[in-house]
Every structure is written in structure tokens, then in C-alpha cells.
Structure 1
Amino acid sequence: MNTAIKPLFAAGVLLALSACSGTYNSYLDTLQLAFTTPDDVELSLKQVREARSDLMYVRHGERSQAAMALLRLEAGQHKWVSADNALLIMQQGRIVRTVGFSNDLLYLTNTQADQLSQPEAINPAIEWLRLADWQNGEYGYALSSRFSVQPNQPLRYFGHNFTTTQITEQVSYISPANYLRLDKPWQNTFWFDSQTGTLLKSVQQLAPFAERFEMTYISRIARLIPADAAAADAGGDSE
């Protein structure tokens, strides 16, 4: 991920998470080709379809686009691992915990009320409230979100056009910061395939002081493309 990783801590957590699965090494094998260059990772449709696990592109801040593999699905949470042992733990398409970054998100409350669990029933009038705990001594920060929906948004991957429903989340901090900081409102964006409801892409910023994550679910995208469809041998740029 080319970020400030705490390798020993992250590796310990990953070992605990993968001890029963026996598949961690195969995930790292899958990711080796994605970390052979400092440039953006671009995988072909064939490479994505032949991968041993689900893959997604991740761009963290201004860093190059990397790839992460799905380590496991557990209790409704998707755990994604990078080749340098960073973890993104996601629920209903939202990052709810991170491992191996400079200031990890430790916990997010009230996730059962997140409207992303039913994107087809988004209600702009409903406010979602929750608390966030951060590693660097910041606990119980209250956040507020409201959602809006924009249908018929085009995306293009592997030479194939998708029509998506774009959900925009307006986020703001309710709690004051523990120290001087510009806690301005921000937004997250999620694109769901209009036909299947599959989440194809999201851009998420976890806090006003955090760098954003741009995530593209290339394995999910590959499964939506017919096997006999003509596709470009490029790795997932959207238009």
C-alpha cells in the first residue's frame, strides 16, 4: 500500500486471522505481480478471472494504485489484505476497521443502521449517527451522515459499460477535536450496479484528517461481464 505500515503488529494480526484458513500464502502469491512496480497496478480481465481470490484496486491518498485480496468473509465482514500486510475490514461496503496504517480506525458503532445495507431504499431524510475510535488516543468521536441517490451513472471497466446508481454520503463530525484541527464536512461516494445491486466502486474518507481510499472491486466487475464479451486487456479504468 506504500503507506506508513507497522509491519510486526500487522503481521501478528494477519496470522491470527488466517491461522485456520491455511490460504494466506496463496493470497500473497496472487498479489506478487501487483507489487513489482511503483506505477499503478493494471490487471487484465484474464488475470482477474484466474486469480485465486477476489481482488480489488485500492488507491490510498496520492499513492499509486495497488491491489488487495479478499482474505476471508466472516460475520458479515470482508477482510482485505495487501502484500505488505495492511488490512481493510469492511461491512456493507464500508470500511469499519483498519490494521497497519499510521492511525488505525479501531471501531465503529451502530453499523446496523448504516443505510448502505439497503442501497435501494436510501432515505435522504434519515440521519445516521455513530461513534468512531482511533488508535492515536481519539475515542468516541460522534459522526453524522445523510445520503443522496443519483441514478444512471456510467462506469466503464475492461471495455464493458456499466450503468450504476451513485450514492453520495455527506459526513460531518459532531464531537469537537481534542486538539486544533480543521474538522470540515466531507463526502463518501458509492457506485452500485443498477441491474444487480453489486457495489463496484467506492471512495471513502474515514475522518477529516485522514487520506481517502478509492476502491474498485475488479473481481466483482469481472463476474458481471459475459465470458464471451469482447474486453480490453486493460485493468479497470473507469470513464
Structure 2
Amino acid sequence: MKFNHFGSSTWKVAGLLGVVLLTGCVQKFSHVNDTIKEAAYGFDDITMTAEDINKLPYASSYMRFNDGARVFMVLAFAEKNPSTGRTQLKWVSSDNAMVVTENGKVIKTLKLPTENLARRSNVINQSLTNSASQTNSEWTEGKVQHATYDWPQGNHYGYQANITLIKQGKQNIDSVIWSKNTTQWQEQVHLPQLDQSFTNQYWITDNGNVVKSIQYVGPDMTRIEIDVLKPFAE
């Protein structure tokens, strides 16, 4: 069984919400929309200055979808996942496209012009510990973990995945407003029902925060590159 792979040349810059909702508050930042609109009609990556980023009271990231232009996304919603107790971060564009992350992992996308992910449900074993970060048992090398993938296109639901994490080593990551020492992790995802695999990459700080990642919504599907600019602070 195979899924068709669609190109991403049409995905350039979605922009930002004109109105962002955070913890029940409604705040406008139309001045940022103006900056994003300029990139929506071009082919260049958008670049934000440190001043631009620091002026916004919201967490923010760069994202790139397949080989499209780099876009600037601002956090729209942050809410607890009752199943895991972890915070889900929802990044929403002005045309209502959405990327949802939990613990740095993409668990859902909506209205991307290519393939979308209806759900990635991670099975978390709280008994696991990671010597590099006792507070984050999810990043443990050599332990097979499990997840369930659902894709809306073609109504493909309930695909079980076996996940193996491999530590790649230390790497310093720089953004325009910070520099952090990270550990690079490779996440090998195998779906036995499809006999297909793909690999995600994560760069994680010593306190367990994912500050950079390259992830796929599924085998031969949309690639999402995320570079955190201003991290979310709970």
C-alpha cells in the first residue's frame, strides 16, 4: 500500500493569524501580518530580525514545508492534552492552516496544501528514564516505542508504528536571539502494515526542549522543518 506524494511548490508563505488567542485573551498584531504578506507573493525565505521577534509577546518559529519558502509562524493556542498531561502547541496561519506539536513532535496538521496528519498518538511509558534528562523519559536510546498514525486522505486510520531513537551527538544551534547546546536525535519510524519507514530528526536542549526538527507526517509525505525562534514558556 502506498500513498501518493504531492509537491509543495504552491506552499510558500501562509502568514499569521490577524487575531491570536492565547489563554483566553484576544490580541491583534496586524503590523506583523504586513511583514508576512510581502513574502506571500515571492519565492524568498522570510527573515525576521531579533527586534521583530522580541517585540512580539508570542512564541514563534520558522517552518518550511517540503521545498517551499521558509515561513514565520506564531503560536496561536497552548492547551493541555488530557491524555498525556503535556502541552499541545498550535501554530495557525491566516488561511487557517495549522501545525500542532507536543513535546516538539508534530502530532496533527490541518489544511496544508499537501498531505495532512489527522493524528499521531504517542504511547508514553512513564517508567523509562533518560540519563541526559531525567524529566523527559520519551527520549531514551535503544528502546522501541510505539505510536498510532491517522491520515485523512484516503481515510487511512489506525496504523501502528514502531519507533526507535538513536542519539546522534552534540551540536550547537543558533537562532537570531539565542544559542543553545543540543543533542541531536534520530527517530526511526516503521509502519509494519505498510512495510514503510521514515526518519525524523530532533535537536533537544539539556532540559528536554526541542528547538529544531525535521519531521514527516508519514512515509513519502509532507516534510516539515521547524526552527524555534522564541520558545514557549509555560
TM-score (norm 2): 0.74
Q: Cα–Cα, structure 1 residues 80 and 115, in superposed 2: closer, same or farther, change >3 Å?
A: farther
Tell me what 2:28 maps to. Answer: 26
- 1:18 is displaced (CA, Å) by 5.0
Query: 5 Å matches for 1:95-134?
Result: 95-101=106-112, 102-113=114-125, 120=133, 121=137, 122-134=139-151
Which stretch of the first structure deviates more once superposed, 98-107 or 69-78?
98-107
Instruction: Answer yes or no: is the 8 Å Cα contact 2:172–2:179 preserved in 1.
Output: yes
> Does residue 162 of structure 1 match 2:180?
yes
Instruction: Answer yes or no: is the 8 Å Cα contact 1:27–1:53 preserved in 2.
Output: no
CA-based RMSD? 3.5
Q: Cα–Cα, structure 1 residues 115 and 60, in superposed 2: closer, same or farther, change >3 Å?
A: farther
Q: State the AA in 1 paired with 2:63.
A: V
SS, match of residue 218 in structure 1:
strand
Tell me what 2:65 maps to. Answer: 60
> Does residue 42 of structure 1 match 2:47?
yes
> Which protein has the bigger strand share?
2
Distance 1:130 1:172 in 2: 10
Match among 214, 218, 224 for residue 207 of structure 1: 218
Tell me what 1:3 maps to. Answer: 11
Tell me what 2:5 maps to. Answer: none
Match among 177, 193, 197 for residue 175 of structure 1: 193
- 1:171 is displaced (CA, Å) by 1.2
Instruction: Answer yes or no: is the 8 Å Cα contact 1:27–1:71 preserved in 2.
Output: no
How much identity, in percent, do the aligned residues show? 21
SS, match of residue 230 in structure 2:
helix
SS, match of residue 53 in structure 2:
helix
Q: Cα–Cα, structure 1 residues 114 and 55, in superposed 2: closer, same or farther, change >3 Å?
A: farther
Match among 152, 157, 162 for residue 139 of structure 1: 157
Which stretch of the first structure deviates more once superposed, 102-111 or 198-207?
102-111
Runs of 4+ in 1 over 6 A off after TM superposition: 114-119
Q: State the AA in 2 paired with 1:189.
A: Q
> Which protein has the bigger helix share?
1
Instruction: Answer yes or no: is the 8 Å Cα contact 2:22–2:76 preserved in 1.
Output: no
Match among 73, 79, 84 for residue 78 of structure 2: 73
- 1:203 is displaced (CA, Å) by 0.7
User: How many matched pairs?
Assistant: 206
- 1:63 is displaced (CA, Å) by 0.3
Q: Cα–Cα, structure 1 residues 112 and 44, in superposed 2: closer, same or farther, change >3 Å?
A: same
SS, match of residue 105 in structure 1:
coil
Distance 2:89 2:105 in 1: 10
Distance 1:159 1:21 in 2: 28
Q: Cα–Cα, structure 1 residues 164 and 91, in superposed 2: closer, same or farther, change >3 Å?
A: same
> Does residue 85 of structure 1 match 2:90?
no
TM-score (norm 1): 0.73
Q: Cα–Cα, structure 1 residues 20 and 54, in superposed 2: closer, same or farther, change >3 Å?
A: closer
Distance 1:65 1:57 in 2: 6
